[in-house]
Amino acid sequence: MSWISTLAPWQWAIFAVVPIGIILLYFLKLRREPIEIPSTYLWSRTVEDLHVNSLFQRIRNNLLLLLQLLAVLLAALALLRPGQQGETSGLGRKVFLLDASASMMTEDVEQENRFAMAKLMIREQIDQMEDQDTAMLITFSDRAEVLQSFTSDRGRLRAALDRAQVTNRPTDIIGALEAADGLANPRRSSEAGDVNDIQVADPLPADLLIFSDGGFRDVADFNVGNLVPTYLKIGSDSPRNVGITAFSADRNVERPGDAQAFATVVNFGKDAETFNVSLYVDGQWRDAEAVTLEPDEEGSLTFALSDQGEAATLEARLESDDGDQGFSDDFSIDNFAYAGLRPLRTVSVLVITQGNRPLELGLTTESAAKICVADFQPPSYMESPEYTARATAGLDDLIIYDRCQPKTLPLTNTFFVAALPNADWSWASEPGQTILVDIDRTHPMMQYLELFSLLIFEGRSVTGPVGTRELVGADNGTVLALAPRDGYQDLVLGFAIVTNSDDGIPQTNTNWFAERSWPVFLLNVLRHLAGAADATNAASFLPGDTVRLRVESQIGEVQIARGSGTAETIPTGQSGTVEFVDSEMPGNYRVMADEKLVDLFAINLFSRMESQINPRSEFEIGYEKIETSGTMETRYEFWRWLLLLLLVVLALEWWLYNKRIA
């Protein structure tokens, strides 16, 4: 038998006055008015009421007083919450990990959703804590939040639980595990093996109660140490869900008036589903396609859009095939997806060269001219104030340095041909004939390229800073590399397209300019390094992501709003950079400046792990298999029976009192 007090000490002091007051009421003397009567024979019972001077006689003969004191005693016992603990671990410390990711909004449980069910289960655990027990509460989605550190105050734990909110974000449990591990497994003050090393704190074992549907990846590199994990699975075993896992739109660069929208839909349930996928453009219905998917089947759809020259917001919706607007399943957030077509614009490219006819022809083809404006200048232009202003303000989307190098790198993306950007780069080989041996076809700038037939008379391999990616490899090392630089990218080619003889006559160094891959490569550079591709389809981000955009540098501030909602004003940073953090809600977001649309972006869940809402029965933490627990630590309480007995006593007291009065 154990007890859990529900009152504070000062409240118990007030409660202790109640039985004393009941006893005193029985001995309060009534003020009686003296009345002369001719005889006491008829007033014998009244006279008996005056014989109340004996304390023990009064207690001995008054059943009502005993019943009232018994009622007070039962109330006190009920407030002490007597009970018996079952399946207790004996650790006395609990860490509640509450999954607050998007999948916890699944409506396949008795409560409002899985998150509400998990909160109810945690509240029951808090209510059953004993006075010496301590607990903490951590919520996690793609990041962890400690809502309440270790405390024995059940009121603070309940208040923290009330503050917990479900999110639209994907799941990552590692942050929550590290937060719990920091207390249960304190680290040492220095390196292992040091004889002077001391333990900074004693280990504090704790029960780790994970309330989740298991919609996260296994955690391999983690040691539970003094944590004793228990997985409380939330959700039914046969949920129903069809979700849109991908949705995008792309404009045809050669025919800007035409565009296409692409959607991928997956049936994550255990039964076949029939539904419609409808496309809305700027809020207006445009097209729909009926789809039937078997369990675990995936379907792809393409919608053609014509006369779509202006910017547009697109939305894909799952709708019922019986004509109703909505499609009902247990997880609704992935029934909608968003994309957009950005305003048409061309990119600005500055070319610094002493003469490169193949480069000039490649940047002025019909396809390239539709998406870029190229400005060719000699190397001496880098000494002019105009160049300095353009480079420091980042006015150009791309600067190409052909066989030359600036003193300071510009605040924009660059492409160096047979030159190095700065001291972070170096030549890794001596000049010589170069044979290409490898191409990174996964990078978009390398798409549709066949380069193994190229002849390169003189080339050198390059080495870049940390994070450099090899795009083309040769027999002497990397000859085409891409590296990040403070938000920008530098592309370096290790061989020249044309060179100059000793007498200044241009001569070719490769046959690349005569191959079909040359204009294709330059077009890829314009689209993916200068940003021409970004000028067509709007970027998509996950809920909760920090959205980073780039607008024209002369714009001082922008207004960003979801749909037709209230706009948030954000000042632009250096070179027109914009950071937006209020990205919790999925939808299309419009970026405005002076009532003009300057950009679009979308927020989508697009997580197969979240859309796969069938709860897992087990997962691994640190190569330890954690299986779902059928039961939780349960306390069997008896205070409800005491309250029922109290009601019986009060009813008996009321009956006797009325009988005596009668």
Q: pLDDT (tens digit, 9 = 90+) per residue, 262-272?
A: 999 999 999 99
Q: What is the pLDDT of residue 573?
A: 81
Q: d(Cα 79, Cα 231) in Å, to the nearest integer?
A: 32
Q: Which residues pair with 32 in a beta bridge?
A: none
406: in domain: yes
* Residues 120 and 49 reside in one and the same domain: no
Mean pLDDT of 598-626: 90
Helix (H/G/I), strand (E/B), else coil: 147 = strand
In angstroms, the first-to-last Cα distance of the chain is 44
Chain segment 317-326, per-residue pLDDT in tens:
999 877 666 7
pLDDT above 90: residue 594: no
What is the total count of domains within the chain?
A: 5
The b/e string for 438-458 (b: 16+ C-beta within 10 A; e otherwise) is ebeeebebbeebebeebebbb
Looking at the structure, do residues 484 and 545 belong to the same domain, yes or no?
Answer: no
254 and 389 housed in the same domain: no
Mean pLDDT score, 477-492:
92
- According to DSSP, the β-strands at 206-212 and 93-99 are parallel
Instruction: Let me know: does 266 contact 334? Beta carbons within 8 Å.
Output: no
**Cα–Cα distance between 526 and 398 in angstroms, integer?**
8
Q: Are residues 96 and 134 in the same domain?
A: yes
> Does 257 fall in a domain?
yes
Residues 102 and 58 in one domain: no
Residue 190 has pLDDT above 50, yes or no: no
**For 184, left (φ over 0), alpha (ψ -120 to 50), or beta?**
alpha
* Same-domain check for residues 270 and 284: yes
CB pairs under 8 A, 24+ apart, for 298-302?
298/245, 298/264, 298/265, 298/266, 298/267, 299/264, 299/265, 299/266, 300/262, 300/263, 300/264, 300/265, 301/262, 301/263, 301/264, 301/265, 301/277, 302/260, 302/261, 302/262, 302/263
Co-location of 599 and 657 in the same domain: no
- 567 and 647 assigned to the same domain: no
* CATH number assigned to the domain comprising residue 317: 2.60.40.10
Question: Residue 357 falls within a domain, yes or no?
Answer: yes
Whether residues 524 and 484 share a domain: the answer is: yes
Lowest mean pLDDT among 50-54, 97-101, 488-492, 592-596: 50-54
Note whether 284 and 259 are same-domain residues. Answer: yes
In a domain, 485, yes or no: yes
d(CA 250, CA 270): 33
Task: State how far the Cα of 188 lies from the Cα of 190, in Å rounded to an integer.
Answer: 6
Residues 280 and 367 in one domain: no
Of the spans 138-142, 452-456, 623-627, which averages the highest pLDDT?
138-142
Could you tell me if 319 and 276 are in contact, meaning their C-beta atoms sit under 8 angstroms apart? yes
Give the CATH number of the domain where residue 98 resides.
Answer: 3.40.50.410
Q: What is the pLDDT of residue 232?
A: 92
Give pLDDT, residue 81.
62
User: Mean pLDDT over all residues of the chain?
Assistant: 83
Range of the domain at 55: 9-30+40-82+639-661
Provide CB contacts within 8 A for 48, sequence distance 6+.
none
